[in-house]
Amino acid sequence: MELRVLRYFLAVVQEKNITKAAEKLLISQPALSKQLSDLEDELGTKLFIRGHRQITLTSEGQYLNTKAEEMVKLAKKISANIQSNQIISGDLTIGAGESIGMKRILDVLGNISQDYPDVKTHLISGDANEMEKSLNNGTLDFAVFMGERDLDDFNYLQMPETDHWGVIMREDALLANKEVIEPKDLLNLPLLVSSQALSSHRFDNWWGNLGPEMNITGTFTLAYNAELLVQSSHSYMLTFDHLLNRNNVQNLIFRPISPQIIEPITVVWKKNTVLSKVSQLFIKRLKASLQK
């Protein structure tokens, strides 16, 4: 499979029409059709279902679409980083969830952007499992993990900041007057929980035998969206401290949980890989920030 052909394939997927894709690619429609047919022959499967006005992907085509996007993105990043041999430029891609620890990292990235305007920064949101997969396939340069995780396969820097779990609720909520929230306080109350924390059973020890009695009415990946739901539905939300956005949500408060749960924040990257100059610069400056 050639990258050129994969780019042709992705253009057809985007346009959903071979003629329109050919016009976009500045090649003839018969030539593009021939390239796609050759690709199907090479893979031994049909990638498209050709309709009268547009095409749709087969399940094999959907799989190739995902992988082709990763391959083309990786090739573009490699090219940009190689071309930056004489100066600091290229792409720096970092995956992370929401956390107070991101402030230090974003400060470092902001300073790099000011000093080296040709550096392009890409921030990708996702949970730790998604981030680890992207690190391993090369589409991420770095990931930021919140919480304990096996780091044997990675190089890493531990951040001094930590995340503390607590509950966000409305100011007029039943538990608003409590200084800390214990598991028994949440019984029978509508509760929103981070989908990653729930799938990893993060609170099993905290709520103990009360777990089956917890009224979990929903999950979330982005704290801001969940805060809007708390505001409108009188729910309670288990999340990290410092994520309450008072600029957009005025009547919510945060209370820490007891016993407390504290999560480490770690920046990780692949072992045994040659880092681009911009990646090396990021690590150097991040380390320097830890000395202040």
170 and 227 in one domain? yes
The CATH number that applies at residue 29 is 1.10.10.10
Predicted confidence (pLDDT) per residue in 162-210, tens digit: 999 999 999 999 999 999 999 999 999 999 999 889 988 999 999 999 9
Amino acid 148: pLDDT? 87
Amino acid 212: pLDDT? 93
228 and 154 in one domain? no
Alpha carbon 19 to its chain centroid, in Å, reads 35
245 and 110 in one domain? no
| Distance separating alpha carbons of residues 130 and 125, to the nearest angstrom | 9
Q: What is the DSSP letter of 15?
A: H
Phi and psi at 240, nearest 5°, equal -80, 155
Domain end position, chosen among 79, 114, 136:
79
Q: What is the DSSP letter of 176?
A: T
277 and 146 in one domain? yes
Domain end position, chosen among 45, 79, 113:
79
Amino acid 249: pLDDT? 67
C-alpha angle 263-181-173 in degrees, rounded to nearest 5: 125
153 and 275 in one domain? yes
User: Whole domain around residue 100: which residue ranges?
Assistant: 88-161+264-290
Amino acid 83: pLDDT? 66
- Inter-helix orientation angle 3-15/59-83, to 10°: 120
- Cis peptide bond prior to 264, omega within 30° of 0: no
12 and 137 in one domain? no
Amino acid 222: pLDDT? 80
274 and 146 in one domain? yes
Amino acid 84: pLDDT? 57
Neighbours of 167 (CB within 10 A): 24
C-alpha angle 100-104-109 in degrees, rounded to nearest 5: 125
- Cα–Cα distance list, 181 to 124, 184, 213, 255, 264 (Å): 32, 8, 16, 7, 21
Q: Which H or E run includes 44?
A: none
Task: Tell me the residue type at 226.
Answer: A
Amino acid 289: pLDDT? 93
Look at the alpha carbons of 202, 206, 212, 216 in this order and tell me if their dihedral is positive or negative. negative
pTM value is 0.68
248 and 121 in one domain? no
Amino acid 117: pLDDT? 86
- Report the first-to-last Cα separation within the chain, whole angstroms: 49
237 and 281 in one domain? no
In this prediction, the residues of the chain whose per-residue pLDDT falls under 50 are none
218 and 129 in one domain? no
The CATH number that applies at residue 268 is 3.40.190.10
154 and 137 in one domain? yes
Q: Which H or E run includes 162?
A: strand 154-170
| Distance separating alpha carbons of residues 51 and 46, to the nearest angstrom | 14
Question: In the 3-class helix/strand/coil scheme, how is 69-110 assigned residue by residue?
Answer: HHHHHHHHHHHHHHHCCCCCCEEEEEEECCCCCHHHHHHHHH
142 and 282 in one domain? yes
**Placement of tokens 């985007």 in the chain:** 14
**How many domains, the chain?**
3
Both structure tokens of 237? 């939300």
- Cα–Cα distance list, 226 to 60, 212, 217, 219, 254 (Å): 35, 22, 12, 8, 13
Amino acid 248: pLDDT? 63
